[in-house]
Amino acid sequence: MTEDDFSIFKRFPTLEQAQDLQKLLNDAGIETIIADNVPPVDITFGGSTLNNEIEIRISPKDFKKAEALLLKQAETLIDDVDPSHYLFEFSTEELYDILIKYDEWGEFDYTLAQQLLKKRGEKIDAETLENLKKQRIMELAKPEKKQTGWIIAGYIFSILGGFLGIIIGYSLWKARKTLPNGTKVHSYSERDQKHGQYMFLIGVIIFPITLIWKIIPNIT
């Protein structure tokens, strides 16, 4: 398997935390890669707030096994949970929100939210959890909103021979995001991808011509 065959499973602010999870996964026979998430094209133009973090990447086929491992670990801690834990103050709607947006919460909070909802008489079973996860995946898989502003700017920079036009075009064309189940999908709509491809090709053609045009007067 190559590095491209791995998807982001978890992100951590420190290397030590990432290594703890790496050991747990490796002990369970799950191959891992630790990497710094220096943002490539896998970010959106809509104002990314991504900070540099340490990523644990695994094969998409191992996601369910890894998630089950972490949930089992979290379940062992539930009995000793502090009664002052902040989730005890959450409303039923807020607890459901944790189950829906499970990818934004840790396994412990996700497991505790289930327990609290059950104690409140809510029906929380494997089928319900699986349906909520499917809905979440479908929602996150949707492409980002139309990038009209960046498309206009990209064409302008490409036509004027600016290298920035090539970068914007390539980003719109090739940017991908990783879903919680490890699947990678395009970040932008087919329309925006096509515009990105066009401005990339325009930029690749015009940029060297512009560069040569600027160099020649200095030579002669």
pLDDT score of 48: 43
What's the rounded mean pLDDT across residues 15-40? Answer: 86
- Residues 168-191 have pLDDT tens digits of 999 999 999 999 999 999 999 999
Lowest mean pLDDT among 69-78, 103-112, 162-171, 187-196: 69-78
Query: Which two structure tokens, joined as six digits, stand for 77?
Result: 């801690």
What kind and span of H or E run contains 57?
strand 54-58
Task: Give Dmax over CA atoms of the chain in angstroms.
Answer: 84
Residue 132 DSSP SS3: helix
Work out the pLDDT band at 49, boundaries 50, 70, 90: very low
**What is the predicted pLDDT for the residue at 220?**
57
Residue 153 identity (one-letter amino acid): A
Q: Is the pLDDT of residue 42 over 90?
A: no
Task: Work out the angle between the directed axes of helices 148-159 and 163-174 (0-180°, nearest 10).
Answer: 140
Residues 117-145 pLDDT 10s: 999 999 999 999 999 999 999 999 999 99
Cα dihedral across residues 7, 4, 148, 48: positive or negative = positive
